[in-house]
Structure 1
Amino acid sequence: MNPELLEIKNQLTELEAEMQEVSKKYKDLLGRVDPSQQESAKNLLHYLILRKTPIQELQAQLHRFGLSSLASCESHTLHQIQVTLERLGLDFSASSAVTMEFGSQKIKASSEHLFGSHLQEWPTSVMVTFDKSFLREKDLVRSLLKNGMGVARINCAHDEELIWLQMIKEIRKESRKSGIPCKIHLDLAGPKIRTVLLKKGKESGRVEIDKGEKFWLSDSGEGFSDKDVVVSPNEKGVVEALNVGERVFIDDGLILTRVLKKNKRGALLTVERNSAKKNRLKEEKGINFPDSELKVPALTDFDRACLPFAVEYADTVGFSFVKSPEDLIMLRTEMRKLSDEIPPVILKIETHEAVVNLPELLLEGMKEEFFGVMIARGDLAVEIGFERLVEIQEEISWLCEAAHVPVIWATQVLENLHKFGVASRAEITDAGRAAMAECILINKGNHTLEVLKTLKDIAKRSRALKKKNRLVFRPLKIAEHFFEKIAQHGFS
């Protein structure tokens, strides 16, 4: 055999052997997942093994010999390696049952359970964020259904139960009349870490802050004068968790500050960049702490109060700012106090911790037959850095495909079109990528029907051209971190 082919064969054989040990080595871990998720959990571990291994040169060698470069093997990793080895003369009479067809069917079945069957002319499901104004517009809900809406999203951060129930009743009424099914997705609000002005700017709700200026982050306005700029993060425990030198982002990352010092009153921040309109810092703007380990619980008291409504009416529940498997355990435990039958959870990946812990979150999710993942790109971009968003959103997609978990692509999909009636060139390209997900989330805007029509056209064209590029698999830090953590602490 050609020496280079022999080297390829040896490397693939080593990978195949390591993957074959998964069932034995991680027996306890696999024993905790739902029986319907066994093969998917194994495939996720196979893929993590592949992605912790430097195989760039191996991929190049495989490609030179016209063999599979393993670039599209997420849903069937071990099987793809075995098929490639068969081409090199090895025989696998008991090859992996997780084939490409198995993975595709598993994701499809899970998607239909979570998001329903999308309209025939749509290649993907669409989730539309509802607003109480929809209730005042005659025939709008029916038009949304006819134009592709398969899931209606209700955000618990806005309005109240009475309004939510009115929305649900209207959706179900129009669904029955039209014969078009529609799922109800209820998004838990999660921690509301938002700006509250306590001193200067309190009356107007805004204050000018230029680059180089300083202001305080504090839980109270005590000890400050009315001329001081004092911002409350609106959540206890945030300020005390900060350390000098850590970054604090405000207003979707438009304002970058850094902790200069701390004392009993709070944390003094210095403004390193302010790209907000007129250099203003406004109330009710989100705050992100990418460098800090906050002790704020993912499931708030307000979320707990919403759970009875969610368990009764929701088809799926969105879990905001989930960070660890323990968070998911807590949510499911609280829902089970209300009912034995609980809605599937959609994990919103929007923090650095959630990205790092994604394999463990997926394995915890697999303890139930159905769950999904939302790539919430708004807060995620601020948390990990805008320049890393492209690679991280792809990594999340790969890992979810390896676990056969449906993905919702969220945040700013055709946002300019939605708000102003005209799409930018960049967001058209982004919408094409969104169409590769199992579901696309559309936020609120004034041109929802136009967005649906444009998105359908883009999605059909993108799916018709869908051919995965030959990817180069550098080792994933997520995979390395997972196996290091397992080796040191086991899987709790």
Structure 2
Amino acid sequence: MLDSMNQMKMQLNSLRQSMNRVEEEFEGLLADIPPHNRISAINFLKYLILRKTDVRDLQILLHENGLSSLASCESHTQRQIEMTLQHLGEKFEKLDSCTTDFGSKKIEESSQQLFGPKPENWFASIMVTFDSVFLAEKDLIPKLLKKGMSTARINCAHDDESVWQEMVDKIRLASKITGLPCKIHVDLAGPKIRTKLLTKGKDKGRVKIKIGETIWLSDSAKGFKAKEIVISPNESGVIAGLKIGDRVFIDDGLIMCLVQRVDKDKALLKIERISSKKPFIKAEKGINFPDCSLQVSSLTDFDKKCLPFVCANADTVGFSFVRSSRDIADLRAALKEVEADIPFMILKIETHESVKNLPSLLLEGMKDADFGVMIARGDLAVEIGFERLVEIQDQILWLCEAAHVPVIWATQVLENLHKSGVATRAEVTDAGHASRAECIMINKGKHTMEVLKTLRDISQRSVALRVKNRLVYRPLKIAADFFGEKS
């Protein structure tokens, strides 16, 4: 017993000592964080120290001795370590100022800023993606508000500014009539990396393919024969970042290719897998490049043209394809060129680079009064691999809680129910997990009202089980990468 107590004390004190050096070691970085977010930034850095360390054996010892295993210390990391040390007989003149209550209140206050007050009998805010067909249904928007919608999402990748403005006007009118508040969220389109057929199949909008076949990726059809399959990624700067062996996914990962050769302005791809029943590459399907850093701007010319509308109408703006802290700084500067009082940013985590750089993204976001993170699970699953989605979305939730940043759980929430009227067992389970986020986003579909009703029922039953499982803290690569260590 004595040996185990000494071992626990030694490891906990070692972590505490490392955390005590955070403010000095990151003085330059913290200087750019406003006072409103400084405690959160410091706690986040301390949590990264914990998560770059393998504490699994320590957790077992703590648990066996009836002490906190540190499994729920995200919002108050050093404070939890110090409280545990006190139970082991250690004494401190002053405990870390970041408490459980502070972290919880900070997230709640930020959530209110971003999404407004939670609707009655809801444990998360609800964001509903607007479809232009909503405009033709007279009483639909008031019904959505009464059913729990607290934020309306407008996607700049669809329709045009006249339609977006009509949506905003009708949302505000419905809010006034019902007396129920509704925030406006506008998603920037971001770079449209989509298949564009340049030769074979161009007229039909699709081309038949087979496993083992080679196709070309190029910005131009120049120099190719009509019988060759040539696809443009629809964005310049993509091909330059490719290298031999890189994976290329087409159509939400249904088609996987490997890069065989890279020339100056073209790349030869070999089709390795076709998971769809019909073996076709179709026009306007997404392309993902999970193994390379694309030389593509996150903020497009089209996005910049949308910013006056965003600043005039949006409470929050979704930043698609964000990958680096520089991207955030660029959008912030572009918004401030339009309006001094800019909307709150929502960082959409949807690429492998945004996952790897998440600590830097969060710290850059903290330079604003409030901001949020969206787990955009569609492209993200393709980028990181479907089998890794569960662990990565959990890691995003943990890191954001440590930074006291609200999270939106997005993409395919009750998707089958939304489209067909019948939910699958798997998506009901997923919807239960969604209640861990501060906001849940639902996409377009025919059964929005039923989705809202079902989602409320599920979240009410799930919220009490959020801390049911004891977590085991293996080292996180994201944390090790931030400190420049090998994991």
- Which range is displaced more, 462-471 or 192-201? 462-471
Q: CA deviation at 1:29?
A: 1.2
> How big is each residue's C-alpha offset from its partner over 1:139-180, in whole Å with a ceiling of 9 and x where there is no partner?
111111111110000000011111000000000000000011
Residue 304 of structure 2 aligns to a residue whose secondary structure is helix
Residue 293 of structure 1 aligns to a residue whose secondary structure is coil
Equivalent positions of 1:270-419 (< 5 A) are 270-419=270-419
Partner of 1:31: 31
8 Å CA contact 2:211–2:274 kept in 1: the answer is yes
> How big is each residue's C-alpha offset from its partner over 1:190-240, in whole Å with a ceiling of 9 and x where there is no partner?
010000111111111111111111211110111222222111100011122
> How big is each residue's C-alpha offset from its partner over 1:269-292, in whole Å with a ceiling of 9 and x where there is no partner?
111111124111111100000112
Partner of 2:166: 166
Partner of 1:85: 85
Partner of 2:143: 143
Q: CA deviation at 1:468?
A: 4.1
User: Partners of 1:398 and 1:464 in 2: how far apart?
Assistant: 18
Residue 67 of structure 1 aligns to a residue whose secondary structure is coil
Residue 278 of structure 2 aligns to a residue whose secondary structure is helix
8 Å CA contact 2:43–2:76 kept in 1: the answer is yes
Equivalent positions of 1:2-81 (< 5 A) are 2-81=2-81
* Structure 1 gap ranges (5+): 488-492
Cα 1:275/1:86, change in 2 over 3 Å: same
8 Å CA contact 1:311–1:343 kept in 2: the answer is yes
8 Å CA contact 1:116–1:150 kept in 2: the answer is yes
User: Partners of 1:466 and 1:64 in 2: how far apart?
Assistant: 22
Calculate the aligned-residue CA RMSD, in Å.
1.2
Q: CA deviation at 1:265?
A: 5.7
Partner of 2:255: 255
8 Å CA contact 1:344–1:370 kept in 2: the answer is yes
TM-score (norm. length: structure 2): 0.98
User: Partners of 2:264 and 2:70 in 1: how far apart?
Assistant: 56
- Which range is displaced more, 433-442 or 225-234? 225-234
- Which range is displaced more, 83-92 or 466-475? 466-475
User: Partners of 1:40 and 1:265 in 2: how far apart?
Assistant: 46
Residue 96 of structure 1 aligns to a residue whose secondary structure is coil
Q: CA deviation at 1:26?
A: 1.4
- Which range is displaced more, 222-231 or 179-188? 222-231
* Paired AA for residue 126 in structure 1: I
* Paired AA for residue 393 in structure 1: Q
Residue 95 of structure 1 aligns to a residue whose secondary structure is coil
Partner of 2:96: 96
TM-score (norm. length: structure 1): 0.97
> How big is each residue's C-alpha offset from its partner over 1:94-139, in whole Å with a ceiling of 9 and x where there is no partner?
1011111111110001001100112111110010000111001121
Partner of 2:178: 178
Q: CA deviation at 1:75?
A: 0.4
User: Partners of 1:377 and 1:154 in 2: how far apart?
Assistant: 18
> How big is each residue's C-alpha offset from its partner over 1:374-394, in whole Å with a ceiling of 9 and x where there is no partner?
011111111111111111111
Residue 337 of structure 1 aligns to a residue whose secondary structure is helix
User: Partners of 2:383 and 2:430 in 1: how far apart?
Assistant: 20
8 Å CA contact 1:131–1:444 kept in 2: the answer is yes
* Paired AA for residue 201 in structure 1: G
User: Partners of 2:85 and 2:302 in 1: how far apart?
Assistant: 54
Residue 150 of structure 1 aligns to a residue whose secondary structure is strand
Residue 446 of structure 1 aligns to a residue whose secondary structure is coil
User: Partners of 1:112 and 1:58 in 2: how far apart?
Assistant: 37
Cα 1:38/1:277, change in 2 over 3 Å: same
Q: CA deviation at 1:55?
A: 0.6
User: Partners of 1:242 and 1:19 in 2: how far apart?
Assistant: 40
User: Partners of 2:371 and 2:62 in 1: how far apart?
Assistant: 35
* Paired AA for residue 131 in structure 1: D
User: Partners of 2:214 and 2:252 in 1: how far apart?
Assistant: 19
Q: CA deviation at 1:264?
A: 4.9
8 Å CA contact 1:119–1:148 kept in 2: the answer is yes
User: Partners of 1:336 and 1:14 in 2: how far apart?
Assistant: 44
> How big is each residue's C-alpha offset from its partner over 1:232-257, in whole Å with a ceiling of 9 and x where there is no partner?
10001112221121110000100001
> How big is each residue's C-alpha offset from its partner over 1:49-103, in whole Å with a ceiling of 9 and x where there is no partner?
1011111000000000000000000000000001001101112231011111111
User: Partners of 2:18 and 2:240 in 1: how far apart?
Assistant: 45
Partner of 2:208: 208
Residue 19 of structure 2 aligns to a residue whose secondary structure is helix
8 Å CA contact 1:63–1:69 kept in 2: the answer is yes
8 Å CA contact 1:201–1:207 kept in 2: the answer is yes
8 Å CA contact 1:222–1:265 kept in 2: the answer is no
Partner of 2:109: 109
Residue 267 of structure 1 aligns to a residue whose secondary structure is strand
Q: CA deviation at 1:358?
A: 0.6
User: Partners of 1:468 and 1:175 in 2: how far apart?
Assistant: 37
Q: CA deviation at 1:41?
A: 0.3
Partner of 2:425: 425
Residue 268 of structure 2 aligns to a residue whose secondary structure is strand
Partner of 2:242: 242
8 Å CA contact 2:239–2:265 kept in 1: the answer is no
User: Partners of 2:452 and 2:382 in 1: how far apart?
Assistant: 27
Runs of 4+ in 1 over 3 A off after TM superposition: none
Q: CA deviation at 1:332?
A: 0.1
Residue 359 of structure 1 aligns to a residue whose secondary structure is helix
Residue 397 of structure 2 aligns to a residue whose secondary structure is helix
Partner of 2:444: 444
* Paired AA for residue 448 in structure 1: T
User: Partners of 1:123 and 1:240 in 2: how far apart?
Assistant: 46
Residue 271 of structure 1 aligns to a residue whose secondary structure is strand
User: Partners of 2:242 and 2:43 in 1: how far apart?
Assistant: 39
Q: Determine what percentage of the aligned residue pairs are the same residue.
A: 61
Q: CA deviation at 1:354?
A: 0.7
* Structure 2 gap ranges (5+): none
Partner of 1:490: none
